[in-house]
Amino acid sequence: MQATNDVCPPTNNHTRPDPQVERKLVDIFFSRVHPRYPFLDRFSFEEFYQSYQLSKDTSRVSPSKPFHLHMVLAISARIMQLHPEMGGNINPEFYYSNATRYVDEALQVPGLERIQSLLLLALYILRTPGSISNLGGWHIIGFAVRYAVELGMHRNIKCGGPRAQDPYRIEIRRRVFWSAYVLDRAVSLTLGRPFALSENDIDVDLEASYRLAKS
């Protein structure tokens, strides 16, 4: 009896699945991952996602945009793979392979986008079976937290004063930092490893001070 390949989509990076499949994957990420780690702005993500469905040209956007998109799809596909009861049989490596085409450039983008990229990488690796993957995820998260500290994201920034930023930017910084913090704590406790940052060094607000659109 001839073996059949029941993994969809195929591993050919030039073959794209039904847009409805990707729509489902995006919704899975924002319903299952985003509530715990809300480091992406769903509104801006959806804007790029919609434009990407119309045109695959990414030459005029930050390389972080397509990297984040494919990593979100890869993470959701991995979640579906680990939970067969969700239905579907989508190969997460298809999207992860696509994401790796942008990873070098994405990690060169400074600031918040680099930390977002690192967190997406860590979330995918942590959902990849194997103890080595867990340790690799811990290293990536630690780097993300230390880079956040380098940017001063662990310190409180008000809307007024010499270091003032707009409320939207402050809220994104807050979400990215606390997502990295919570992920670092969770993985470090699981692996019995030290935390990347002491609580005594943190004074950034935990509560939201600004509501992002459609987040």
The structure tokens listed for 193 are: 């490893």
Q: Is 6 helix (H, G, I), strand (E, B) or coil?
A: coil
Query: Rounded to the nearest 5°, which phi and psi values hold at 62?
Result: -60, 140
Res 15: pLDDT: 54
Q: Tell me which residue of 164, 74, 81 sits closest to 120, measured CA to CA.
A: 74
CA distance 74 to 92: 5
pLDDT band at 5 (very low <50, low <70, confident <90, very high): very low
> In the prediction, which pLDDT does 45 show?
96
Kindly report, residue by residue over 12-62, the tens digit of the pLDDT: 444 566 788 999 999 999 999 999 999 999 999 999 999 988 877 777 889
Phi and psi for 200 in degrees, rounded to 5? -65, -15
Mean pLDDT of the chain: 85
Percent of residues, the chain, with pLDDT higher than 90: 60
Distance, in Å, from the CA atom of 153 to the CA atom of 169, rounded to the nearest integer, reads 11
